Amino acid sequence: MAGSVNKVILIGNLGRDPELKSFESGGSVISFPLATTETYRNRESGERITLPTDWHSIVIRKPGLVKIAESYLRKGDRVYLEGKVRYRTYEKDGQTRYITEIQVEELTLLSSREPGNRPESGVSSGGGHQADTPDADDLPF
């Protein structure tokens, strides 16, 4: 068994449209904030309790997932993602700044769109490849 594991699974809503940054080297990265809010039901009163919203900084570097996120993700969309927690530091005005990010490895859209503005089934798979979706006429049964 491995000595340690760094894995995060989140289901939440985008806080704003994804921001794409392209680099001179040809690479690109997309980022956005993701909101998660936990709720539970009080056993005694039956009352639904909502905990404060947590905000996560999401970063996508995989080229296939960057294309999917750029094309299909919008503010308010619900997504499922898997990734790793990453910590970075940098200097600004003589002070050290700390950043905690979730680096995405798998991404699935959970929101549906209006007809005509809807991504194809399977487009949001984590591998970054479009899945073939057979037409009803092509099914063997």
Give domain limits for the chain.
8-118
pLDDT at 114: 57
Residue 59 has pLDDT above 90, yes or no: yes
DSSP code, position 131: P
C-alpha distances (whole Å) from 29 to each of 5, 21, 78, 99, 140 are 24, 5, 20, 16, 41
Instruction: List pLDDT tens digits, range 76-94.
Output: 999 999 999 999 999 999 9
Average predicted confidence (pLDDT) for the chain: 84
The H-assigned helical ranges of the chain are 63-72
**pTM assigned to the model:** 0.74
What is the CATH architecture assignment of 8-118? Beta Barrel (2.40)
Q: Please name the residues in contact with 4: beta carbons below 8 A apart, sequence gap of 6 or more.
A: none
What mean pLDDT is predicted for residues 62-77? 94
CA distance linking residue 63 with residue 8, whole number of Å: 20
Side chain identity at 53, as an amino acid letter? T
Instruction: List pLDDT tens digits, range 121-135.
Output: 334 444 433 333 344
Pairing of strands 54-60, 28-36: antiparallel
